[in-house]
């Protein structure tokens, strides 16, 4: 994404962070084997697989979860009607089959004999409740807009449920992965699922020690067969290099993205580890806040975008693990085009844009207008040293080109809270699990969208994003999303720095694990340590 033309070395900005491993413990109420129609023997599994993750969980109710560790717990505890395979094709999960008899009707046939991990049977009422509560405004589900077109849900019989939509909705099937929750627990005061999840998956929740560890135990009565390993431990190790070192020392058995490229390069040379890499389902990007007094000016945003040397960032800081970004459309998406117009690295153009906008370069080398210096703050979270390094690199570049730049580094929880509250200028972060262009665009760019933290608004984009949901034909959808991506680039709502590569590293003693580019850890249920 960029040619290196600055005088400092990127390596000189490498930052070491330490893991924070402390907190109080949330113990699950008395343990009991979950019910289910197991196709296995039900015999007790053996062993423990330890996984190193970068951030602590926040909410273990799948309707309310937002971060990656929430989702990694849900991968093994909950199940949806549909599961997406490694190529993002829908395959049966709690629904054995489905049909789409007309553009606004979907019928799902439920798997029989499935039980939640507390021994109660899964029913069509649980499915109905899960989705109705997801779209109920009082739930305040962060991804409710993904299910907005669902108008009514009808139980046709004990094993058949019908979803009626207000309009045709092309991405629906990709979103039917939402974990089904037990109504009898979710409706209790305070929603205990937030800290003590109960699903139908291969592992059941045992305990959660804040900022330290989450423990899952095998559901020996899982409908698809008993897991091969008795326990899965998620160890929270915020620093990428510390997490990689934990793999090498035997403290954990598996780590996955985000990882520091220097650690990946080193470990892939060591014969006792497996390092798998594939095109990921996410990107890293700069999120511009349109409420900022300077950034609401399009020429200021365009000037900053013209100072982002993506090639240098991805080749020097990410050492080729990421590739330069073009737009919010992923390269492995059917909607992708490499020809989306964007602002390329061009300091001369940045200077010309600012001067044409009335900014003049002061004696101190900072642009000013109407008595104000052009000043912005770059923000990111402390758990990812590559992002820290990137914002420090960008700080140097922007300052060399007349923009007074500060850097704000905060722990993920604080950083995320500030994002949601709109308390930032330009933030560096990433999106994952972008299984459909709609997932990468609707909640982020639609006016008032739940993840539109920068208050971006463009009526043309709103119209295109609505059309992209309604049109069924994939080639038509691709054209629509390409138009929307071009407008988003032109407006500099986001500047996509790089497309992420998914990397998973694990000991060769771990067998049977199947990775997924989404980062899902569902494949661990068939894995074991030899």
Predicted confidence (pLDDT) per residue in 438-472, tens digit: 999 999 999 999 899 999 999 999 999 999 999 98
Report the C-alpha gap between 444 and 413 in whole angstroms. Answer: 20
Specify the fold of 25-236+509-529: D-Maltodextrin-Binding Protein; domain 2 (3.40.190)
pLDDT for position 35? 33
Q: Is 14 helix (H, G, I), strand (E, B) or coil?
A: coil
- What percent of the chain stands above pLDDT 70? 92
- In the chain, CATH 3.40.190.10 sits at 25-236+509-529
Q: Which CATH architecture has domain 280-502?
A: Roll (3.10)
Element (H, E) at 323: strand 323-324
Report the C-alpha gap between 425 and 377 in whole angstroms. Answer: 6
Burial label for 225, CB within 10 Å (0-12, 13-18, 19+), is middle
More confident residue, 501 or 24: 501
pLDDT for position 504? 97
**pTM reported for the whole predicted model:** 0.80
Q: pLDDT at residue 72 above 80?
A: yes
Report the C-alpha gap between 424 and 378 in whole angstroms. Answer: 8
pLDDT confidence bin for 45, thresholds 50/70/90: low
More confident residue, 383 or 7: 383
Question: In this predicted model, what pLDDT tens digit does every residue of 184-218 receive, in sequence order?
Answer: 999 998 889 999 999 999 999 999 999 999 999 99
Q: Which two structure tokens, joined as six digits, stand for 95?
A: 């629904």
Which stretches of 250-384 are DSSP H helices?
A: 261-267, 298-305, 310-312, 347-356
Q: pLDDT at residue 38 above 90?
A: no
pLDDT for position 349? 98
Element (H, E) at 124: helix 124-135
- In the chain, CATH 3.10.105.10 sits at 280-502
CA 159-161-162 angle, 5° bins: 155
Across residues 483-508, what is the average pLDDT?
Answer: 97
The β-bridge relationship of strands 426-431 and 404-410 is unpaired
Report the C-alpha gap between 475 and 335 in whole angstroms. Answer: 8
pLDDT confidence bin for 5, thresholds 50/70/90: very low
Element (H, E) at 102: strand 95-102
Kindly report the average pLDDT of the chain as a whole number.
90
User: Before 478, cis peptide (omega within 30)?
Assistant: no
Question: In this predicted model, what pLDDT tens digit does every residue of 88-113 receive, in sequence order?
Answer: 889 999 999 999 999 999 999 999 99
CB 506 within 8 A of CB 513: yes
* DSSP category for residue 268: T
pLDDT for position 88? 84
Report the C-alpha gap between 254 and 516 in whole angstroms. Answer: 14
Question: In this predicted model, what pLDDT tens digit does every residue of 417-438 receive, in sequence order?
Answer: 999 999 999 999 999 889 999 9
pLDDT for position 360? 97
CB atoms within 10 A of CB 184: 15
């Amino acid at each position: 994404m960029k040619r290196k033309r600055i005088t400092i070395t990127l390596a000189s900005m490498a930052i070491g962070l330490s893991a924070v491993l402390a907190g109080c413990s949330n113990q699950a109420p008395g343990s009991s084997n979950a019910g289910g129609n197991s196709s296995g023997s039900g015999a007790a599994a053996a062993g423990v697989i330890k996984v190193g993750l970068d951030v602590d969980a926040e909410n273990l109710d799948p309707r309310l979860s937002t971060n990656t560790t929430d989702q990694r717990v849900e991968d093994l505890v909950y199940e949806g009607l549909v599961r997406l395979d490694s190529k993002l094709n829908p395959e049966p999960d709690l629904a054995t089959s489905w049909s789409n008899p007309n553009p606004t009707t979907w019928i799902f046939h439920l798997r029989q004999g499935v039980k939640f991990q507390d021994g109660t049977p899964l029913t069509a009422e649980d499915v109905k409740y899960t989705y109705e509560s997801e779209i109920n405004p009082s739930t305040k589900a962060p991804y409710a807009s993904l299910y907005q077109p669902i108008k009514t849900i009808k139980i046709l019989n004990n094993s058949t449920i019908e979803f009626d939509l207000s309009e045709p909705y092309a991405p629906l099937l990709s979103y039917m992965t939402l974990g089904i929750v037990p109504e009898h627990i979710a409706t209790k005061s305070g929603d205990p699922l937030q800290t003590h999840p109960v699903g139908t998956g291969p592992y059941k929740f045992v305990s959660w020690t804040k900022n330290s560890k989450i423990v899952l135990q095998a559901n020996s009565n899982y409908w698809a067969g008993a897991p091969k390993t008795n326990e899965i431990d998620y160890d929270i190790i915020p620093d990428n290099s510390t997490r990689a070192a934990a793999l090498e020392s035997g403290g954990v058995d598996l780590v996955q993205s985000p990882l520091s490229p220097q650690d990946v390069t080193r470990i892939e040379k060591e014969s006792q580890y497996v390092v798998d890499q594939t095109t990921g389902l996410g990107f890293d990007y700069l999120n511009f806040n349109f409420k900022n007094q300077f950034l609401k000016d399009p020429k200021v945003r365009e000037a900053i975008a013209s100072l982002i040397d993506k090639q240098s960032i991805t080749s020097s800081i990410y050492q080729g693990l990421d590739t330069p970004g073009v737009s919010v459309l992923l390269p492995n998406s059917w909607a992708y085009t490499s020809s989306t117009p964007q602002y390329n690295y061009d300091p001369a153009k940045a200077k010309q844009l600012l001067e044409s906008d009335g900014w003049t370069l002061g004696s101190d080398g900072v642009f000013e207008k109407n008595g104000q210096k052009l000043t912005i703050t770059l923000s990111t979270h402390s758990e990812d040293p590559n992002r820290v390094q990137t914002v420090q690199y960008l700080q140097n570049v922007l300052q060399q080109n007349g923009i007074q730049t500060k850097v704000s580094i905060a722990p993920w929880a604080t950083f995320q809270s500030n994002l949601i509250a709109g308390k930032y200028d330009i933030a560096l972060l990433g999106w994952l699990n972008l299984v459909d262009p709609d997932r990468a665009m609707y909640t982020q760019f639609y006016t008032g969208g739940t993840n539109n933290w920068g208050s971006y608004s463009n009526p043309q984009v709103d119209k295109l994003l609505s059309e992209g949901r309604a049109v069924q034909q994939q080639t038509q959808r691709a054209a629509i999303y390409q138009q929307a991506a071009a407008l988003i680039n032109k407006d500099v709502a986001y500047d996509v720095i790089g497309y992420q590569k998914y990397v998973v590293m694990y000991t060769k003693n771990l067998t049977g694990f199947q990775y997924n580019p989404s980062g899902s850890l569902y494949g661990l249920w068939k894995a074991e340590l030899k």
